[in-house]
Chains A and B, each alone.
Chain A
């Protein structure tokens, strides 16, 4: 029973995926090792750092503390699914413009958290942006530039309305 694999069928970045996974496998491991989605970073593996953040049915989760079997029937998005025809999304560009990327380890996770936030279409204060990004840690940037990037795109989106 222990080693018996379980079939998981789900959508990953718009594509139907079917994989046999171990019941003890995390979604992080499935995405990295079986699907080669290496933007999903393996950091603390205990839900503290957010490097492994992906979007499941519109909500961010830490894929290191989410079992792969739970992905059954769900819609999963990773950083690899964001670009369209080789072009970066606006928030990715803004991270570069604002110097919000240094070593880059935390960046995919931050981009996924920012993506959900921006798709909600709300305009938030800096404090509120910080709160919404508090599940992601960065050892390099000191956060200000990251918040600047999110704030910038949030304002742009609001002006376009």
Chain B
């Protein structure tokens, strides 16, 4: 039995906002794979819940007329991975969330819950950062649009105000057209483990000139919030694609990330791995740009 004070079910976004405003002490529950665990552990015992699972508007993926991709906050990981719009336009996101937990967790966990939980280990975060995703909220008076970079405020803290919920994520057309991405999750056990370190590289290559035109590198678990390696990115843009570039990404990433020691891995180990996976992720995007098959 879960120790829940009151349980309120919302069937529309409007209802959810009303319930959240009426019951400021209540917490949103979507897939529940973070919230229920915290109730079980006692951290959230006795909480009240506003359930948003029945809100149809929060589910599904659409490519809009503008070319922007709309991802409902309540869409589960398995539905993201199997979605044709994702596979065709931003396969890196589908591949990243396919590395969450096991199948049962991917069938209940939602992308909205993943980012709102605020964990640096969230497997969707590095890809969303490297795709310059925009987060849309509803609050009963128009809502807000927040770039994902500003959405993470600190460990476990995100920019969702009382009485507000995240409705969807937008990937603007200009942020993915012509780009290729790859996410590498490094964890100690193969399956069912949270990332020790995760890195997503999204790049745009000019194949005829063999130049790296643009690159976005994001690490999960390398700092208190997901970290874009802006300095490394600036240093690499415009470089010819060759071994020198791959060595440069390794070296510069190691200077830029600030992983900490933890029982999972030491700082030195994470720095070593960090350079390595950034390099491999970039190499893979170069292969993809050259027409390499998705695995």
Interfacial residues, chain A to chain B (CB-CB below 8 A):
1-2, 6, 22-26, 29, 45-48, 50, 53, 59-62, 65-67, 69-70, 113, 130-132, 134-137
- Residue in B closest to A65 when the chains form the complex, CB atoms: B36
- Residue in A closest to B108 when the chains form the complex, CB atoms: A61
Which chain B residues (114-133) contact chain A, with CB distance < 8 Å? none
A70 to chain B, nearest CB (A): 6
Which residues of B have CB within 8 Å of A67?
A: 2, 32, 36
Contact check, A134 vs B191: say whether CB atoms are below 8 A apart.
yes
Which residues of B have CB within 8 Å of A46?
A: 37, 40-41
A22-B1, A23-B4 in contact; A45/B103 too (CB < 8 A)? no
Which residues of A have CB within 8 Å of B41?
A: 46
Residue B178 at the chain A interface, CB threshold 8 Å: no
Contact check, A29 vs B37: say whether CB atoms are below 8 A apart.
no
B135 to chain A, nearest CB (A): 25
Contact check, B102 vs A59: say whether CB atoms are below 8 A apart.
no
How would residues 189 to 210 of chain B score, 1 for a CB under 8 Å from any chain A CB and 0 otherwise?
Answer: 0111000000000000000000
A154→B2 CA distance, assembly (Å)? 38
Which residues of A have CB within 8 Å of B105?
A: 47, 62, 135
Q: Work out how many contacts link A and B, with CB atoms closer than 8 A.
A: 76
Which residues of A have CB within 8 Å of B4?
A: 23-24
How would residues 69 to 107 of chain B score, 1 for a CB under 8 Å from any chain A CB and 0 otherwise?
Answer: 000000000100000000000000000000001111101
Which chain B residues (215-251) contact chain A, with CB distance < 8 Å? none
A65→B107 CA distance, assembly (Å)? 12
Residue B53 at the chain A interface, CB threshold 8 Å: yes
Apart from the given pairs A62-B105, A69-B9, 9 other A-B contacts in the complex at a CB distance below 8 Å: A1-B6, A53-B104, A60-B103, A60-B107, A65-B32, A65-B36, A65-B37, A113-B104, A135-B103
Which residues of A have CB within 8 Å of B269?
A: none
Chain B residue total in the interface (Cβ 8 A):
27
* Contact with A24, one of B3, B9, B33, B192 (Cβ below 8 angstroms): B3
Which residues of A have CB within 8 Å of B53?
A: 70
Which residues of B have CB within 8 Å of A113?
A: 103-104
Contact check, A132 vs B3: say whether CB atoms are below 8 A apart.
no
* Contact with A61, one of B51, B107, B190 (Cβ below 8 angstroms): B107
* Contact with B5, one of A2, A22, A59 (Cβ below 8 angstroms): A2
B186 to chain A, nearest CB (A): 17
- Residue in A closest to B6 when the chains form the complex, CB atoms: A1
Which residues of A have CB within 8 Å of B78?
A: 59
* A-B contact list, 9 entries, CB within 8 Å: A46-B41, A62-B108, A66-B108, A67-B36, A113-B103, A130-B191, A131-B191, A135-B191, A137-B192
Which residues of A have CB within 8 Å of B101?
A: 47, 135
Which residues of B have CB within 8 Å of A131?
A: 191
Which residues of B have CB within 8 Å of A61?
A: 104, 107-108
B239 to chain A, nearest CB (A): 35
A154 to chain B, nearest CB (A): 16
A107 to chain B, nearest CB (A): 16
A59-B78, A65-B37 in contact; A50/B102 too (CB < 8 A)? yes
A26→B51 CA distance, assembly (Å)? 15
